[in-house]
Amino acid sequence: QLQLVESGGGLVQPGGSLRLSCAASGFTYTIGWFRQAPGKEREAVSCISRSGGITNYADSMKGRFTISRDNAKNTIYLQINSLKPEDTAIYYCAARVYGCSGVIADYRSWGRGTQVTVSS
C-alpha cells in the first residue's frame, strides 16, 4: 500500500530556503506537491512524472520552486528559495498513476503534510 511521508518543513526567515522531501513507499507514481495556507483552499504547487522527465509548476510558483526526484531513494523533493511570508502553509505531496495534473481530485493518495512557516 502506498504511503507518503513529507518532511523538511519548519520555521524560516523571509528570504531563506527549504527543501521539502516526500518519501514514497511502493510503486513509483507521478507526484504532486500542494499547499494549503490558513483559511485558504489547497492549491497546486508542482508535479513531476514517474521518470522525472516532466515537471510542471503552477504559474505563481515558477521561478522559486524546483521539484525533483531520486527514484533510487523513492524520494521527491521540493526546493523553495527566497521564501516569503505568503508561502506559509502546510505542504502536501500526493500520488497518482497517470501523468502530471494540478487537479486535487486526480490524486489518489496523500501524505499528512509538513508545516512551513515563514516569519521574522
Distance CA 12, CA 10 (A): 6
pLDDT at 82: 97
Residue keyed to cell 510558483: 61
Tell me 87's DSSP state: G
pLDDT at 26: 76
The C-alpha cell of 55 is what?
Answer: 515537471
pLDDT at 47: 98
pLDDT at 4: 96
Instruction: Give the residue ranges of the chain where pLDDT is below 70.
Output: none
The C-alpha cell of 27 is what?
Answer: 510503486
